[in-house]
Amino acid sequence: MIDKHSRKISYLRVSVTDLCNLRCVYCMPAGGSVLSSKEEILSLEEILKLIKHGVSLGVNKIRITGGEPLVRKGITSLIRRISEISGINDIALTTNGVYLKEYAAVLKKSGLSRLNISLDTMREDRFAEITRGGNIADVFDGVEAVLKAGFRGTKMNAVIMRGDNDDEIHDFVKYIMERDIELRFIELMASGWKDMVDEDRFMPTSEIMERVLEVGELVPDKQRVGGGPATIYRIKGALGSIGFISAVSKPFCKTCNRLRLTSDGKLRSCLLSGGDVDIKSILRSSNLGEKEMQDKLTEAFIRATDMKPVVHSGRNSAVMNQIGG
Ligand code: SAM
Ligand code: SF4
């Protein structure tokens, strides 16, 4: 699939649930979001069928996200079945890390390639505040379990918010000095839930980088140039590396190669702008023969690809727990 701006689409991000065990202040309302009913959410078989269809059209990389993907029943068997699809060479999962202590080894066995763990603070009290009740020890234990299980290329995503956690930038860097983890500083984005993200808390990559430079010199990692939206650097003496994702101040749309499948069955062209296609209604239409269904699914993938904007309009916002961030 090639979009109207000559970008080749090979990456599908799949949100398997809108449920979450945490309530991060920038992502979900305190009382939780209005959740889709069980019937509205795609079944594992439906997800698998859509992934296979995507692969037949050129998708070779999958990311599983949510909500919190590890709360979805059957998640490890879904991953195993995805890993058996010929043509897929990378399956990653984004998680808040709370359940990794129990899941890391089985995820490895299931064929998962890589993990992104979201962690916005190194402090117990702050973690409880940002996530509205989480226990940071679970995440630290989860990170160690992932390293012990033998995963390579583990990433840690930290959203930096002025006045909330920007005083911890040095602590994050120290954390990866002795751990083989790619720490990625992420700019805060507007949330689709109204009034949850206040603009004063936004901190651009340029400022975050200045703080990192106080710890040590950053050297661009030549082997990693062009590998996804982050610019990756090495810092002297560190086992880990550091990346910056500037989705707001410097959108990486030019190299965007992805489509998103939401948990309620929409194929979305872009996280922040563009449109979406209701692919679930095609999957569930009982009056289509197999060939007709395959043709309609192909048409849906192509329509979503064609909707991809050349660049997102940064002021828009997304309901992250539904789309998957
Ligand atoms: N629950 C999983 C997790 O937290 O990793 C996966 C889903 S979560 C929506 C995916 C990513 O979106 C997380 O790294 C989270 O920090 C990020 N995210 C959510 N809301 C955000 C916002 N307003 N700005 C920037 N990143 C956000
Ligand atoms: Fe849950 Fe992830 Fe959203 Fe936090 S960022 S509320 S962990 S979905």
Considering only residues 197 and 53, tell me which one the structure prediction assigns the higher pLDDT: 53
What mean pLDDT do residues 293-312 have?
A: 88
The CA distance from 200 to 184, in Å, is 21
Q: Is 68 in the pocket of ligand 2 (CB under 6 A)?
A: yes
Atom of ligand 2 nearest to the CA of 28: 6
The predicted structure's pLDDT at residue 226: 46
| Residue 92 contacts residue 62 (beta carbons within 8 Å) | yes
What mean pLDDT do residues 123-145 have?
A: 97
The CA 25 to ligand 2 mean position distance, Å, reads 9
Q: What tokens appear for 262 in the block?
A: 């939401």
Annotated binding site for GTP: 13, 63, 94, 155, 258-260
The CA 28 to ligand 2 mean position distance, Å, reads 7
The CA distance from 182 to 241, in Å, is 5
The predicted structure's pLDDT at residue 322: 64
The CA distance from 46 to 67, in Å, is 18
Q: Is 246 in the pocket of ligand 1 (CB under 6 A)?
A: no
- Can you give the chain as a three-state secondary structure string? CECCCCCECCEEEEECCCCCCCCCCCCCCCCCCCCCCCCCCCCHHHHHHHHHHHHHCCCCEEEEECCCHHHCCCHHHHHHHHHCCCCCCEEEEEECCCCHHHHHHHHHHHCCCEEEEECCCCCHHHHHHHCCCCCHHHHHHHHHHHHHCCCCCCEEEEEEECCCCHHHHHHHHHHCCCCCCEEEEEECCCECCCCCCCHHHECCHHHHHHHHHCCCCEEECHHHCCCCCCEEEEECCCCCEEEEECCCCCCCHHHCCEEEECCCCEEECCCCCCCEEECHHHHCCCCCCHHHHHHHHHHHHHHHHHCCCCCCCCCCCECHHHHCC
Nearest CA to ligand 1 atom 19: 27
Pocket test for ligand 2, best of 19, 28, 130 (most atoms within 8 A of CB): 28
What mean pLDDT do residues 227-235 have?
A: 80
The percent of residues above 70 in pLDDT, for the chain, comes to 91
The CA 223 to ligand 2 mean position distance, Å, reads 31
The CA distance from 207 to 272, in Å, is 23
Does the pLDDT of residue 274 top 80, yes or no?
no
The predicted structure's pLDDT at residue 309: 76
Q: Is 191 in the pocket of ligand 2 (CB under 6 A)?
A: no
| pLDDT, mean over the chain | 90
Nearest CA to ligand 2 atom 4: 24
The CA distance from 26 to 116, in Å, is 18
**Strand 231-235 versus strand 241-245 pairing type:** antiparallel
Q: Is 322 in the pocket of ligand 2 (CB under 6 A)?
A: no
Does the pLDDT of residue 217 top 60, yes or no?
yes
- Domains and their CATH numbers in the chain: 11-323 (3.20.20.70)
Does the pLDDT of residue 228 top 70, yes or no?
no
